Amino acid sequence: MKIHHVGYLAKNLEKSVKRFIELGYEVERPCKYDPIRKINIEFLVNGDYRVELIQPMSEESPMYPLLKRFKNTPYHFCYEVADLDLATKELSEKGYTVIQEPEIAPCIDDRRVVFMNNISMGIIELVEN
């Protein structure tokens, strides 16, 4: 699997974007609201490295408890897969648990994604090509 991005929680998206730009990143996709997860998302790139900055916009966001607990921090790797259902099944057989059922990701061109967790790995996201 190829890494698509690293998800990074941000308390203040504008301030975080500024700091990443200072480190040589460029905005790949400007801020967009994801109504499914109640978050603002902005993608930045530095060479082949992509970061997804995520700011929960309300306490109802599933990301809000993570931000409250961990503050500004990377919290997941996202991997590109050809077949989301097959990859989910294969990882489930290897001890990963689905923590958010497959659904579209408005900020990634409406591609389907699934979030999974493994006690030894943490949270991963799969995005379908």
Amino acid at 22: E
Cα 114 off chain centre by = 10
Q: Token pair of 68, please?
A: 């409250």
Residue 41: the pLDDT is 97
Query: Is 63:110 a contact under the CB 8 Å cutoff?
Result: no
Query: Is 50:5 a contact under the CB 8 Å cutoff?
Result: yes
Amino acid at 84: L
Residue 104: the pLDDT is 94
* C-alpha atoms less than 13 angstroms from C-alpha of 23 in its C-beta half-sphere: 13
Phi, psi (deg, nearest 5) at residue 66: -65, -45
Residue 43: the pLDDT is 97
Pairing mode of beta strands 49-56, 39-46: antiparallel
pLDDT tens for the chain, 129 residues long, are: 999 999 999 999 999 999 999 999 999 999 999 998 999 999 999 999 999 999 999 999 999 999 999 899 999 999 999 999 999 999 999 999 999 999 999 999 999 999 999 999 999 999 999
- Other CB atoms within 10 A of residue 50 CB: 17
Pairing mode of beta strands 49-56, 97-105: unpaired
Residue 114: the pLDDT is 98
* C-alpha atoms less than 13 angstroms from C-alpha of 1 in its C-beta half-sphere: 22
* Nearest alpha-carbon partner for 45 in 10, 82, 17: 17
